[in-house]
């Protein structure tokens, strides 16, 4: 690895929340390479934090290749008039479970991303519609599926830590983004625990489900299409509040750009 690449990686890791990016060193390449048999995993995505949505995700694993199909419905559709981007990930390195209400340590009625990290862990893989799938892309709304319901399909190369976590039953699917009107007055007034310039609802978990070995060969309810909903043309203030410099700190901030050409 060159000195420039090493420095860039260190900067990105330092800028991101430790709760999202940390995972045990026990997930080594040798561990993952020793378990390369094909298997199918399924996650039933149940709502968290007053969300009303649901979903199902299937992951067909062959070595380090994961064919992922997902169907999500019932999430927050818009935020301040724009299509709501729902960043989503395979979380790894913790208990492999979804948090309950007791994880809300500050009593605001919302289990924030960092409050839930001891249950589902940090980001192993970003389930983006295109481009980067690393933890660094974890909060990049430009490549997240959007809208209240979406179908998602993508083949992704997983790193050794994610493969090991899936095979050991410790991987969890988490979809983020809440309707702020469903939250308590206290929570509505709080900033995101990841990006203080954004509201808490923007980055908090909405759906969660552990990946478990399955005998199924397709997602219930039929096939899905790639991506499902773009994020182009977003022009709402909350999505651009932290635009400057976020590309360098994508592991712990939403990567946003201001595009208000319509108003000019």
Give the domain CATH number at 194: 2.60.40.200
Q: How far apart are CA 200 and CA 193, in angstroms?
A: 7
Asked if residue 254 is part of any domain, the answer here is: no
- Is 56 within the bounds of a domain? yes
Task: Average the pLDDT over 35-49 and give the result.
Answer: 89
Domain count, the chain: 1
Q: Would you say residue 113 lies in a domain?
A: yes
Residue 135, in any domain of the structure: yes
33 has pLDDT over 80: no
Mean pLDDT, the chain, integer: 77
In a domain, 242, yes or no: no
CB-count exposure of residue 26 (10 Å: 0-12, 13-18, 19+): exposed
Q: What is the b/e burial string over 127-149, where b = at least 16 CB atoms within 10 angstroms of the residue's CB?
A: bbbeeebbbbbbbbbbbbbbbbe
Q: Which residues on neighbouring strands pair with residue 172, listed in sequence order?
A: 91, 210
* Strand locations in 180-251 (E): 205-210, 212-213
Range of the domain at 184: 18-232
CA distance 204 to 81: 19
pLDDT of residue 262: 37
Confirm whether 58 is domain-assigned. Answer: yes
What is the pLDDT averaged over residues 102-120?
96
Higher-confidence position of 33 and 214: 214
Give me the pLDDT at residue 96, please.
97
Residues 6+ apart with CB under 8 A from 123: 20, 21, 89, 90, 91, 92, 135, 138, 251
pLDDT higher than 70, residue 25: no
pLDDT score, position 229: 35
DSSP code at position 159:
P
Kindly indicate the confidence band of residue 54, based on its pLDDT and cuts at 50, 70 and 90.
very high
**In the block, which residue shows the tokens 């980067």?**
132
Q: Is residue 241 part of a domain?
A: no
Placement of tokens 């420095």 in the chain: 7
Q: What is the DSSP-derived secondary structure letter of residue 58? A: E
Residue 238 lies in a domain: no
- For the entire predicted model, the pTM comes to 0.73
**56: β partners:** 44, 71
């Amino acid at each position: 690895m060159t000195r420039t690449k090493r420095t860039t990686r260190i900067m990105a890791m330092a800028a991101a929340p430790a709760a999202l990016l940390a995972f045990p060193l026990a997930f080594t390449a040798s561990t993952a390479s020793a378990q390369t048999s094909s298997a199918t995993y399924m996650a039933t995505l149940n709502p968290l934090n007053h969300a009303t949505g649901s979903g199902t995700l299937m992951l067909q694993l062959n070595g380090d290749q994961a064919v992922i199909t997902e169907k999500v419905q019932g999430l927050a559709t818009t935020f301040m008039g724009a299509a709501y981007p729902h960043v989503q990930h395979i979380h790894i390195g913790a208990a492999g479970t979804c948090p309950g209400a007791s994880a809300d340590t500050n009593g605001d009625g919302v289990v924030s991303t960092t409050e839930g990290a001891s249950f589902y862990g940090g980001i192993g893989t970003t389930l983006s519609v295109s481009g980067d799938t690393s933890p660094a892309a974890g909060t990049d709304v430009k490549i997240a599926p959007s809208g209240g319901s979406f179908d998602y399909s993508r083949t992704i190369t997983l790193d050794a830590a994610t493969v090991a976590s899936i095979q050991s039953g410790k991987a969890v699917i988490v979809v983020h983004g809440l309707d702020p009107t469903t939250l308590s007055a206290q929570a509505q007034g709080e900033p995101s625990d990841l990006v203080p310039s954004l509201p808490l609802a923007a980055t908090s978990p909405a759906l969660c489900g552990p990946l478990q070995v399955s005998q199924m060969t397709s997602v219930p309810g039929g096939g899905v299409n790639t991506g499902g909903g773009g994020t182009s043309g977003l022009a709402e203030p909350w999505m651009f509040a932290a635009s400057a410099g976020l590309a360098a700190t994508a592991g712990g901030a939403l990567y946003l750009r201001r595009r208000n050409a319509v108003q000019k």
